[in-house]
Each structure stands twice: as structure tokens, then as C-alpha cells.
Amino acid sequence: MKKGQLSLDLLFAVLLIMVTITNITYLATSEITHAESFDTFTKVKLLSSTLVDHSAKVYAIGEGYKIREVAPDLNGGTIRIIFDGTTNRIIVNATVNGRSFWITKNSTVPLYTSSVDLNSNEEFWIVAYYNTTEGMLYVKVEK
């Protein structure tokens, strides 16, 4: 074996090690990004389910009753909650790092069209609202 061939083999081995380390680093950062996205989506999904449950509770108890909620921590993201009275749906839209997450849930109680824009850990209220002109009890969301 010649002296030059040994250094060429050594360079080739170092190159293979560097490529392997680069691939492992890429996979790790990719998995972290997917895990963070899944965490955010799970928080938004849990919030939407809680909104449906608490809307039914507020409606069952009656006029003037309200429940205080706190928006989940989304690392600086924003949340928009929409109670759509025409389709009777609760829509939660969260935007984190330029990515949007939408969850739409059907409500079992009549909703009054209302919406709130929230930052992480900001509080809002789910309120039983009696509309005197229509003579009906609704549920709405407000700050």
C-alpha cells in the first residue's frame, strides 16, 4: 500500500462520516418540526372540543351564565374563534409561525354569530345570551 492511498482512504472515510452525521441531524430537526406541529394541532383540537362542551353547559344553565376560558400557549401564535350562527358551527383558526390550523365543529346548541381574536394565554368568555327581539337563548363568545 502506498503512502498516498492511505490518505485518500482516510479522506473517503471522513467524508462518509460527515454525510452520515448530516443526515442524522437533518432527520432529527425534521422530527422536531413535526412534533411541534402535532403539539400545536393537538392544543387547537382540544380547545375546539372544550368550546363545544362548554357551550352546551352554558346553554343548559341559562341566561347570564358564562364560563371563562384561556387560550392555549402557542409560542407567540394567534387564535381566532368564530361562533357562526348561520351554520351553527364553532370554527377555531390558529396561526403559528406562518402555518394555519383550522378546526370546525358542529354545535348542539344555537350560536349567536360572534368572534374573538386572541394571543397565547389570553382569556375569553363563553356567554349565554338572551336575544329579546327573537325571544331565544343563544351562546356567544366574547373577550
pLDDT tens column, 25-70: 888 887 887 788 788 888 889 999 999 999 999 999 988 899 999 9
Task: Give the torsion through C-alpha atoms of 106, 86, 126, 81, to 10 deg.
Answer: 80
Other Cβ atoms closer than 10 A to 66: 17
Nearest to 102 by CA among 115, 117, 92: 92
pTM equals 0.77
* pLDDT on residue 97: 81
Per the structure, the count of domains in the chain is 1
pLDDT tens readout for residues 85-129: 999 999 999 988 888 889 999 999 999 999 999 998 899 999 998
Strands 114-119 and 78-84: antiparallel
Q: What is the pLDDT of residue 122?
A: 92
H-helix or E-strand spanning residue 6: helix 3-61
Domain that holds residue 62: 3-142
